[in-house]
A and B are shown apart, each in its own frame.
Chain A
């Protein structure tokens, strides 16, 4: 086996320089729960591994402008233990906590889940629904990128050479807002989403939905922001008719693969069913 170089820089600019210099043979290591598995199965053979966990920005959760900035390498277990974050964005936290076992939760991160670019990544539809913004640091400084614009296909991202997702920003949300995430898997734990739906919504004082975002996973080459599904909720009291329209719009956005874990017909139908349930949970949370 070729000698693999390992670097654990202390700051993002050094990490970015290493990544750019390494070309396509360098890989970023956050929690490693995808990277090490891909290396063992010879899917990738990196010559340089850049561990970003010694960079403080990637390891901290901080309140910022009424929202939260979550370091790209913060493990899922720390998200769940963060009371203020869990209270503000329960849907994002519950999505992140669905990834793998207790042991995987000790390592797996939002940044890794996003940049691994699996269409079935659990945290991504929830982050899309939340309007999450990734802070991307490269050779020419930092830029903000909406989470839905990171993945471009299975395993593919829009990140340029030397660019690293350093953190995820969840914005301040108005009062009477709620979010939720559900996925369908064939068993109760420890599986990969067949369909995943995240919804974030805001109500006015009269219970009318004034804003909504719907994220949809595992039914297209990337997780999707589904505008027509959100439009089905906005301006309504999220009654049965609105939920029917939401389900129809969500199913209409699906272009899934057909495989042993779910047929096209099944995934398309279940997407609508899940959207109804997720909206109902988000509504309850918003009304609290």
Chain B
């Protein structure tokens, strides 16, 4: 079966992989590149567990074909920390217990980081609408929203 040879950038590193047409970017990240921080929830773009960015734009990696990544820059949860230093959102999610089972957390963090890059001072409403596509089956939304708001304030003060 013919495979596509794809050259892309993932978390700043040039990366090559082989994939079949029907493999999604999520399949490629997890099964071919073993970047298993990105989670599969629904597989139909409803839950946001598989959130990554392509060229700085948030997407559900389950709704992108792996072959579409050719020539584009992908950022995943694995690129969020700087070595052993957690991103302020990651640090604050731990400190403020903004996670329960943790399956939605990578997607939430990638989406929240993208929001704060675009809008360092979001209102609570803006945070809630921005993260509306990230479902938390534990329903821990309040702590998530509070942690994002608190991190935004800390990052503005930094």
Contacts and interface: CB of A to CB of B under 8 A. Distances in A.
Given A6-B4, A190-B132, A101 B57 contact: no
A32 B67 CA distance: 13
Contact of A103 (B2, B45, B129): B45
A32 B62 CA distance: 10
A252 interface: no
Contact of B58 (A31, A33, A51, A103): A103
Contacts of A228: none
A77 B59 CA distance: 11
A106 interface: yes
B21 A49 contact: yes
A75 B56 CA distance: 13
Contacts of A31: 63
B57 A36 contact: no
A104 B133 contact: yes
Contact of B57 (A1, A8, A75): A75
A103 B22 contact: no
A29 B48 CA distance: 21
A112 to B, nearest CB: 11
Nearest to A31: B63
A37 B22 CA distance: 12
B15 interface: no
Contacts of A36: 24, 45, 62-65
B111 A102 contact: yes
Contacts of B70: 8
B24 A77 contact: no
Interface residues on A, range: 20 to 34
Interface residues on B, range: 20 to 34
B19 to A, nearest CB: 10
Given A103-B58, A103-B59, A29 B65 contact: yes
A9 B51 CA distance: 27
Nearest to A1: B22
Contact of B65 (A1, A32, A33, A41): A32
A100 interface: yes
A37 B24 CA distance: 11
A104 B60 contact: yes
Given A40-B44, A102-B58, A106-B58, A3 B1 contact: yes
Contacts of A106: 54, 57-59
B113 to A, nearest CB: 12
Interface of A: 1, 3-6, 8, 29, 31-33, 36-37, 39-41, 49, 51, 53, 75, 77, 100-107, 189-190
Interface of B: 1-2, 4, 20-22, 24, 43-46, 48, 51, 54, 57-60, 62-65, 67-68, 70, 111, 129-134
Given A32-B68, A49-B65, A189-B132, 18 more contacts: A1-B22, A8-B68, A31-B63, A36-B64, A36-B65, A37-B44, A37-B45, A40-B43, A101-B60, A102-B58, A102-B129, A103-B45, A103-B48, A103-B58, A104-B60, A104-B133, A106-B59, A189-B129
